[in-house]
Chain A
Amino acid sequence: MADIASDTMPAPRSAASRLRRMHRFDHLFHRLTLVCALFVLAMFVALVGSLLRGAWPAIEAFGFSFLWTEAWDPVREVFGAAAPIYGTLVTSLIAMTIAVPVGIGIAIFLTELCPRGLRRPVGIAVELLAGIPSIIYGLWGFFVLAPVLQTSVQPWVIGIFADVPILQNLFAGPPYGIGMFTAGLILAIMVLPFITAITRDVFETVPNVLKEAAYGLGATTWEVVWNVVLPYARSGVVGGVMLALGRALGETMAVTFVIGNAHNIAVSLFAPGTTISAAIANEFTEALGDLYFAALIELGLILFFVTFLVLAAAQFMLYRLEARAGGRA
């Protein structure tokens, strides 16, 4: 660039002015990116601010007891968020329990074990899964998955655990087909591609030299994956899991279809429940009365904080992992 400039414009004065201009441009660019970054912060503050303002009537009426009150009675205007908070956390927990091992397993298979010819088709199929709109998952869950669970899977599971303490309560009937377990299962299927796609990409960044060295030392495939690939790709894997968790916590349509939408806390995972986003989506349109409306907005505010807390906790865990790994090395 500089050479060309000196060829076409030999005058030194002109070169200096060009430099000044470029400097000004740099300065402007710096400012522009700063504005973009500040814009995100401003959006964040505005969002929290408007949620707080909208939720104020409910905050004023119920105070902190909103968090642990189970009742949700639009007629008498008594509202509490305990059931939706519980449902949100439990369904996300079920989803992650299933999706994390399976998703990472698929990624390991694709990068380490899969025959070359199969790699692309399976990879593309996983990416396509990530692009399916959530309402499709909801319809599929409601019309296809729920009847299967209701007629075969749930009665079978209830039968198996009928005499096992604790588990008999966790998997108690009647088998509705829809409920918190079904919602967790649908969420697991929905977040699976996120985990797989991201972990596969980071697994592919693991240098072959490292793996070959480990194999050279006589390590088995399992040992290579567990001791070389996973530690190397750790932060990327956690990033994928967190993205998936974020989606699971906030997912609305698919959950609404299959969770049963009951504002109560039941021990059984087969019982109907509700999540924060499902409750908002369900009731927002016909929420007559200021307090009802405010209670729904407060639910939104709570989801905001729940997501923040969960992601912060995940971040903290990652930090501790890094610190421990660093100490060992």
Chain B
Amino acid sequence: MKPIAYALAGLGLLLLGCQDQGAADAGNEAAATADASGVAISGAGATFPFPIYSTWAASYRDLTGNAMNYQAIGSGGGIRQIQEKTVTFGATDMPLTKAELDEHGLLQFPTVIGGNVMVVNIPGIEAGELILDGATIANIFLGQIINWNDPAIAALNPGVELGDLPIVVVHRSDGSGTTFIFADYLSKVSPAWSEQVGAATAVNWPVGLGAKGNEGVAGNVGRTVGAIGYVEYAYASQAGLAHTRLVNSEGNAVSPSVESFMAAAASATWNAEEGFGTLLNDQAGAESWPMAGATFILVYKQPVDVVATAEALKFFQWAYASGDDMANDLHFVPLPDTLTAEIEASWTQVAGWGG
């Protein structure tokens, strides 16, 4: 099972911690000396984009001989490492605000988009059969709707028979970008959620079971009748769970797909000034999926190692141009071309970037 392998790999990196850093640096040096033209780029941060970053890195290395070493130590660790200047770039699922970026002289830009889907385990309910909206999900996760026969759910699903079945809420126990996107979406659509819980990579859950990783949530939902949880898009289909449709900001019930994520990305306003720090939650657009977000890269505008940072940007430039298929294979959504052009334009602020 791929997801578990990735989780284990990420975990191994986490447990190895600092040693791993040293080992990675040593590896980079070795690579650099072995191949005179090779430049070592190191990055650290979010675990969510780790599969796509490592896939891109492998292809890029075959192509150019330049090694990109990415350590999936988590967004918090990524931000800390870039602030301590031990890596060329940091990666985070939770975008920094303009004030935070300016304080440290950092530049932020997104790389790929991931979407969240709701998965349920209700006997007789097929994938895409159930429809939920943000307010209802918020009330379920606040512990106010506790049974699947609740009138609020019935109102959204005329013609679907839901019997007396207690709802079991499953959420992530580890801090995660997936949780941030989910909690941010609920904050946008439910004042009660925003007031009582709020949005962050980990929150104070009013109810429910905590499970580690997407695979943990998928596993718990899969074996608990009456369960509901949120997972990354890729996991819903792999785990064979029934996802729900969601009502978006224009009142349409949409299905999760690369197209509906793209629609959300296209409707969003990406502001280069603000470090593109937009989440794709509750975006306008008839076809837009309401719960998605990008993952971000952080680099210094005045880097210590100008050459390495320029090489890192070249790597992402190559990934924007040639990495879309690899992203799709791993169920990530590539950014629209208009956006990548804007991102590359913003790189002129980085010292040593010649395009």
Which residues from A are CB-within-8-Å of B176? 286
**Residues 52-95 of chain A, each 1 if its beta carbon lies under 8 Å from chain B, else 0:** 00000000000000000001111110000000000000000000
Residue of A74, A177, A256, A281 touching B202 (CB-CB under 8 A): A74
Task: Give per-residue flags for A229-254: 1 if the beta carbon is below 8 A from chain B beta carbons, else 0.
Answer: 00000000000000000000000000
Q: Considering the chains assembled together, what is the distance between the CA atoms of A278 and B212 in angstroms?
A: 10
Q: Are B47 and A146 in contact (CB under 8 A)?
A: no
Contacts of B166 in A (CB 8 A): 174
CB atoms of A75 and B203 under 8 A apart = yes
26 A–B contacts, CB within 8 A, in A order: A74-B175, A74-B203, A75-B197, A75-B200, A143-B219, A150-B224, A174-B168, A176-B209, A178-B220, A256-B212, A257-B212, A261-B173, A261-B212, A262-B210, A272-B210, A285-B14, A285-B47, A285-B75, A286-B75, A286-B174, A286-B175, A287-B175, A288-B76, A288-B94, A288-B175, A293-B76
Residues of B within 8 A of A272 (CB): 208-210
Contact yes or no, B212 A73, CB < 8 A:
no
Judge whether A284 is part of the interface by a CB distance below 8 angstroms: yes
Looking at the complex, which one of A71, A176, A257, A288 makes contact with B216 (CB distance below 8 Å)? A257
Q: Determine whether A184 belongs to the interface, using a CB cutoff of 8 Å to chain B.
A: no
Residues of chain A contacted by B211 (CB below 8 angstroms): 260-261
- A147 proximity list for chain B (CB < 8 A): 223
Interface size on B, residues (CB 8 A): 37
Do A285 and B224 touch (CB < 8 A)?
Answer: no
Among B14, B47, B173, B203, find the residue whose CB has the most chain A CB atoms closer than 10 A. Answer: B173
B77 neighbours in A (Cβ, 8 Å)? 285
Q: Closest CB-CB distance, B206 to chain A, in whole Å?
A: 10
A-contact bits for B308-346, CB 8 A (1 contact / 0 none): 000000000000000000000000000000000000000
How far, in Å, is A294 (CB) from chain B's closest CB?
Answer: 12
Which residue from chain A places its CB closest to the CB of B15 in the assembled complex?
A281
Q: What residues of B have a CB within 8 angstroms of the CB of A135 in the complex?
A: 8
| Distance between Cα atoms of A293 and B201 in the complex (Å) | 13
Q: Are B223 and A282 in contact (CB-based, < 8 A)?
A: no
Chain A residues contacting B203 (CB-CB under 8 Å) are 73-75
Which residue from chain A places its CB closest to the CB of B46 in the assembled complex? A286
Chain A interface residues toward B at CB < 8 A: 71-76, 135, 142-143, 146-147, 150, 174, 176-178, 256-257, 260-263, 272, 274, 278, 281-288, 293
- A76's closest neighbor in chain B, by CB? B198
Measured in the bound complex, the distance between the Cα atoms of B252 and A192 in whole Å is 56
Does B79 touch A at the CB level, under 8 Å? yes
A75–B199 contact, CB under 8 A? yes
B209 and A178 form a contact (CB under 8 A):
yes
| Residue of B73, B168, B177, B205 with most chain A CB atoms under a 10 A cut-off | B205
B208 to chain A: which residues have CB within 8 Å?
262, 272
Q: Verify if B204 is at the interface (C-beta below 8 Å from A).
A: yes
- Are A287 and B173 in contact, CB atoms less than 8 angstroms apart? no
A-B pair count, CB < 8 Å, reads: 104
CA distance A229 to B209 in the complex (A): 46
Residue of A73, A274, A288 near B210 (CB, 8 A) is A274
Q: What is the CB-to-nearest-CB distance from A133 to chain B, in angstroms, rounded to a whole number? A: 11
Query: Which of A178, A256, A284, A288 is in CB contact (< 8 Å) with B200?
Result: A288
A261 to B212: give the CA distance in the assembly, Å. 8
Tell yes or no: B74 within 8 A of A by CB. Answer: yes
- What is the CB-to-nearest-CB distance from B330 to chain A, in angstroms, rounded to a whole number? 20
B174 and A283 contact, CB distance less than 8 A: yes
Chain B nearest CB from A213 CB (Å) reads 53
For the complex formed, measure the closest distance between the CB of A177 and the CB atoms of chain B, giving whole angstroms.
7
Contacts of A177 in B (CB 8 A): 223-224
Find chain A residues with CB under 8 A from B177 CB.
286
Q: Given the known inter-chain contacts A285-B74, A285-B174, please indicate yes or no for A260 contacting B209, CB distance below 8 A.
A: yes
> Which residues of chain B are within 8 angstroms of A178 by Cβ–Cβ distance?
209, 220
Chain B residues within an 8 Å CB radius of A285: 14, 47, 73-77, 174-175
Most chain B beta-carbon contacts within 10 A, residue among A260, A286, A288:
A286
Chain A contacts for B199, CB-based, 8 A: 75
Q: Which residues of B contact A281 (CB under 8 A)?
A: 174
* B254, chain A: closest CB distance, angstroms: 28
- Chain B residues with Cβ below 8 Å from A286 are 74-76, 93, 174-177, 201-202
